[in-house]
Amino acid sequence: MSNLQTVRKLILAGATLNQTPFDWKHNVANIRHALEKAKSSKVDLLCFAELTLTGYSCEDVFLSEWLAETAWNKLLEVVAYCDNITVAIGLPVRIDGKTYNGACLIHNKKILGITLKQNLPKDGIHYEPRWFEAWKSGEVITIERAGNKIQVGDLVYDVNGVRIAFEICEDAWVLTNRPGERLCKQGVDIILNPSASHFAMSKSNIREELIRSSSEKFNCTYLYVNQLGNEAGRIIYDGDVILAQRGEIKALNRRLTFQHNDVLYCDVNIDDTNATIPAIEIDSKEKNEELAQAVSLALYDYLRKSKAKGFVLSLSGGADSSIIATFVAEMVRRGIHELGAENFCKSLGLPLENNAKKVVGQILTCVYQGTKNSSTHTLQAAEELAKSIGATFHHWSIEEEVNSYSSKIEEALGRSLSWEKDDIALQNIQARSRSPIIWMLANIKQALLLTTSNRSEGNVGYATMDGDTSGSLAPIASLSKPFVLQWLQWAEQELEYKGLSFVNDLKPTAELRPLERHQTDEADLMPYGVLEQIELLAIKQRKSPKEVYSTLNNGNEDEVLKSNIKKFFRLWSINQWKRERLAPSFHLDDLNVDPRSWCRFPILSGGFDEELNTL
């Protein structure tokens, strides 16, 4: 930053990295790679995301002594690469048996200090207070590491006449106690915000507006850098780098890249912001498009990080399994487009293949598993879709297995089973008979079995445990059925998956009862639109049954609505155990029912009995 004193111009950069919890070799190499890029572009100040060294999602390992100790040693390795550059890098810091979430500022191979996060997120999917202590605003202490004294806490740094400070992720989202409020009074020029902010549909605009308005409010240059990709299984980070000056976005990258890292540079003038050279890349905020990109990246990261050889899917030709097959095809298309066929195949341990459809054939195996209750329409829909995307497709009947189980039970009970008496059991045995054989295929192929559970059925337990819930990854468990249905229409048109036309012509049905009974999901449950409305009020807005009713009934008595609300709350309560057993799922929507990331509810409860009786 040699010329800072006089003109206060500098090249600012943000580096978003796809890290993995305590994968030291990869994480440090990735940091180094981004650093080299920045140095060769003569960057003066480079900011990485929150907890970049360890990864954001080390969970209870953050409570150990060894993680912070190793992170410190890795930090020293990174410091040694920081010649002629100022670098901000996130890591956990352990002081007196407590862990803090820190951002270290390094200038020309010297540690200037470590800022500690003051506001810890505890809402939605965030559980930071379990692992970290919040730092008190205004406090600074000195710690010793290997004989060196280091300032930590609430710091403002002066680097060649430019005043730099931090807000660490949630520090910017809180309504009170924002560090920025105090920093702007101290005349800070640049606020750096290293973040780990999860993807949720339509959240990106909110994030950008937060950064823009922060730069205006604090009259400063504000640089925000998010984590990238599916770091640890469930949560996807957008990987956005946003630079704003005094109320104007000056630099923005395209989110959700398949690359390991993305460095965005901007020629910044601190005093005359009109002289800053904007660097704005095109990034789509359209909900269906951003979802396609996020799920594609999530599947890609999950596959390469789990080192599995591909995916196996029980493909019924219905919406849920078909959207998942389409997502896998889309992951291949986007991955090849961005990385090139060679890098894409290499990163997944696949033989080189330039044709995207053939790559899908290597990665995805789909099986239609019919019974006498399956229709030719669903078989055709499954087969046409699989063929159109290039997936490997098998078709077999599980009638023999279903009959074998049923006749053994009949013999043991000494009576015949009937649809009148044994409806649910006769449905479930079909769903369960599909499971052992498809798991066997997954074992043989060393592949991951994808389960097709969606959020609407998760709400009410409309799935057979260890039947259609079988699998080790649930890509759409946070998506509602209405969203799935409209996305498929969009994908047929906009992404040109013409093979979806048969799928899009069908009505959701489990096909578990005899065909002449014309089973449909909505007849079994309630219209999906109604279910979604009740869910929004009952789960996201946490309203009581009475409040849900009074919000939806438009002032009129509505017995059907009452009965649907009762059904929802009853089924919701008795099926918590099923949600506890769902396979790990991607967090795609901030209304999510995954008890291990978003929504906690007792497994055993009063089930709203009293509240429902007063409806």
Ligand X SMILES: NC(=O)CC[C@H](N)C(=O)O
Ligand Y SMILES: Nc1ncnc2c1ncn2[C@@H]1O[C@H](COP(=O)(O)OP(=O)(O)OP(=O)(O)O)[C@@H](O)[C@H]1O
Ligand Z SMILES: Nc1ncnc2c1ncn2[C@@H]1O[C@H](COP(=O)(O)OP(=O)(O)OC[C@H]2O[C@@H]([n+]3cccc(C(=O)O)c3)[C@H](O)[C@@H]2O)[C@@H](O)[C@H]1O
Site for ligand Y, rule CB under 6 A: 314-316, 318-321, 368-370, 374, 378, 434, 452, 468, 508-511, 521
Give the binding range for ligand X (CB under 6 A) out of 192-200, 493-501, 515-523, 539-547: 192-200
Q: Is 562 annotated as a binding residue?
A: no
What distance in Å separates the CA atoms of residue 365 and residue 347, rounded to the nearest whole number? 19
CA R_g for the chain: 27
**CB atoms closer than 10 angstroms to residue 138:** 10
- Upper half-sphere CA count for residue 190 (Cβ side, 13 Å): 31
Least separation, in Å, of the C-beta of 481 and ligand Z?
Answer: 10
User: Which residue in the shown chain puts its C-beta closest to ligand Z?
Assistant: 510
Please name the residues in contact with 269: beta carbons below 8 A apart, sequence gap of 6 or more: 7, 8, 9, 275, 276
Query: Considering the rule CB under 6 A, would residue 536 count as an interface residue with ligand Z?
Result: no
Please name the residues in contact with 564: beta carbons below 8 A apart, sequence gap of 6 or more: 526, 530, 531, 534
What distance in Å separates the CA atoms of residue 580 and residue 593, rounded to the nearest whole number? 10
Q: Where do runs of H (alpha helix) occur along 446-510? A: 455-460, 481-494, 501-504
CB-nearer residue toward ligand Y: 47 or 319: 319
The SS3 assignment for 375 reads: coil
Binding flags for ligand Z, 459-498, as an x/- string (CB under 6 A): --xxxxx-xx------------------------------
- Beta strands at 311-314 and 392-397: parallel, antiparallel or unpaired: unpaired
Which of 154, 170, 468, 594: binder of ligand X (CB under 6 A)?
A: 170
Residue 465 interacts with, from ligand Z, ligand X, ligand Y, none (CB under 5-8 Å by kind) = ligand Z
- Upper half-sphere CA count for residue 430 (Cβ side, 13 Å): 21
The answer to whether residue 220 is catalytic is: no
Check: CB of residue 400 under 8 Å from CB of residue 371.
Answer: no
Residue 44 interacts with, from ligand Z, ligand Y, ligand X, none (CB under 5-8 Å by kind) = none
Check: CB of residue 199 under 8 Å from CB of residue 587.
Answer: yes
Q: What are the E-state strand segments in 18-161?
A: 45-48, 86-95, 98-107, 110-116, 140-145, 148-153, 157-159
Check: CB of residue 28 under 8 Å from CB of residue 60.
Answer: no
What distance in Å separates the CA atoms of residue 380 and residue 502, rounded to the nearest whole number? 7
Least separation, in Å, of the C-beta of 356 and ligand Y?
Answer: 24
Query: Considering the rule CB under 6 A, would residue 510 count as an interface residue with ligand Z?
Result: yes
Least separation, in Å, of the C-beta of 480 and ligand X?
Answer: 21
Which of 74, 107, 126, 455: binder of ligand X (CB under 6 A)?
A: 126
CB-nearer residue toward ligand Z: 66 or 577: 577
Tell me, what amino acid is at 311? F
CB-nearer residue toward ligand X: 198 or 432: 198
Counting residues that bind ligand X (by CB under 6 A) gives: 10
CB-nearer residue toward ligand Z: 121 or 467: 467
Q: Is 578 annotated as a binding residue?
A: yes
Residue 198 interacts with, from ligand Z, ligand Y, ligand X, none (CB under 5-8 Å by kind) = ligand X
The answer to whether residue 169 is catalytic is: yes
Residues of span 550-579 touching ligand Z by CB under 6 A? 574, 577
Q: Which residues of 218-240 are buried (b: 16+ CB within 10 A; e: fewer)?
A: bebbbbbbbbbbbbbbbbbbbbb
Q: Is 452 annotated as a binding residue?
A: yes
Least separation, in Å, of the C-beta of 322 and ligand Z?
Answer: 13
What distance in Å separates the CA atoms of residue 402 and residue 339, rounded to the nearest whole number? 45
Q: Any idea of the CA torsion for 425, 426, 429, 431, to the nearest 10 degrees?
A: -110
Residues of span 412-451 touching ligand Z by CB under 6 A? 424, 427-428, 431
Q: Where do runs of H (alpha helix) occur along 414-558? A: 419-445, 455-460, 481-494, 501-504, 521-524, 528-535, 545-552
CB-nearer residue toward ligand Z: 330 or 422: 422
CB-nearer residue toward ligand X: 50 or 383: 50
Least separation, in Å, of the C-beta of 582 and ligand Y?
Answer: 13
First to last CA, the chain: 68
Which of 14, 21, 55, 121: binder of ligand X (CB under 6 A)?
A: 121
What distance in Å separates the CA atoms of residue 101 and residue 95, rounded to the nearest whole number? 11
Residue of 117, 250, 305, 481 marked active site: 117
Query: Considering the rule CB under 6 A, would residue 196 count as an interface residue with ligand X?
Result: yes
Least separation, in Å, of the C-beta of 291 and ligand X?
Answer: 17
Q: Choose among 467, 492, 594: nearest CA to 539.
A: 594
CB-nearer residue toward ligand X: 167 or 383: 167
CB-nearer residue toward ligand Z: 363 or 479: 479
Residue 427 interacts with, from ligand X, ligand Z, ligand Y, none (CB under 5-8 Å by kind) = ligand Z
Q: Is 457 annotated as a binding residue?
A: yes
The answer to whether residue 117 is catalytic is: yes
The encoded tokens of residue 172 equal 């910017």
Residue 301 interacts with, from ligand Z, ligand X, ligand Y, none (CB under 5-8 Å by kind) = none
CB-nearer residue toward ligand Z: 362 or 464: 464
Residue 257 interacts with, from ligand Z, ligand Y, ligand X, none (CB under 5-8 Å by kind) = none
Least separation, in Å, of the C-beta of 321 and ligand Z?
Answer: 10
Least separation, in Å, of the C-beta of 580 and ligand Z?
Answer: 9
Least separation, in Å, of the C-beta of 434 and ligand Y?
Answer: 6
The encoded tokens of residue 101 equal 């979430």
Least separation, in Å, of the C-beta of 469 and ligand Y?
Answer: 9
Query: Considering the rule CB under 6 A, would residue 276 count as an interface residue with ligand X?
Result: no
Give, in degrees to the nearest 5, the angle at Cα 95 between 54 and 233.
Answer: 25
Residues of span 198-227 touching ligand X by CB under 6 A? 198
CB-nearer residue toward ligand X: 168 or 336: 168
What distance in Å separates the CA atoms of residue 166 and residue 188, rounded to the nearest whole number? 10
Which of 72, 81, 127, 173: binder of ligand X (CB under 6 A)?
A: 173
What distance in Å separates the CA atoms of residue 68 and residue 66, rounded to the nearest whole number? 6
Chain-centre distance for alpha carbon 509: 28
Residue with tokens 């640890």: 232
Query: Considering the rule CB under 6 A, would residue 197 count as an interface residue with ligand X?
Result: yes
Q: Which residues bind ligand Z (CB under 6 A)?
A: 424, 427-428, 431, 461-465, 467-468, 510, 512, 521, 524, 574, 577
| Known binding positions | 197, 203, 428, 452, 457, 578
| Known binding positions for L-glutamine | 197, 203
Q: Which residues bind ligand X (CB under 6 A)?
A: 50, 121, 126, 169-170, 173, 195-198
| Known binding positions for ATP | 452
| Known binding positions for deamido-NAD(+) | 428, 457, 578
Please identify every residue annotated as catalytic: 50, 117, 169
